Amino acid sequence: MQFLTTTESYISLFFTLALMLVMLYFMIYRPQKKQEKKDAAMRSSLEIGDQVTTIGGVIGRVVAIKDDSFVLETGADRVKIRFTKNAISSVEKLNMDNAPKK
């Protein structure tokens, strides 16, 4: 029975740790950055008239946009609430193709 020498065990440990770091990068860090870019693009493409769902579950239409916030109009009673753009969970774009023609 032959045991690994100290140098061989250190090399083996180094490659194991390097492999774990590479796996961590591809399984956690890279997908998270990809999702952050997708969310930032969604927030920057926000337009007046879009239907928005916030992270708190509030659903409404965008009526005003400023640098880092927007105003959401909800319900038939037309309540207006101001949110930061970071509160957006999803955006449904206003579709003008199906609008009635005048």
What is the tens place of the pLDDT at every residue in 25-50? 999 999 999 999 999 999 999 999 99
Strand order in the sheet with 69-74: 79-84, 69-74, 59-65, 51-54, 88-92
pTM recorded for the entire structure = 0.66
Cα separation, 99 vs 102, in Å, equals: 9
- CATH domain 47-92 topology: SH3 type barrels. (2.30.30)
* Per-residue model confidence (pLDDT) at position 101: 58
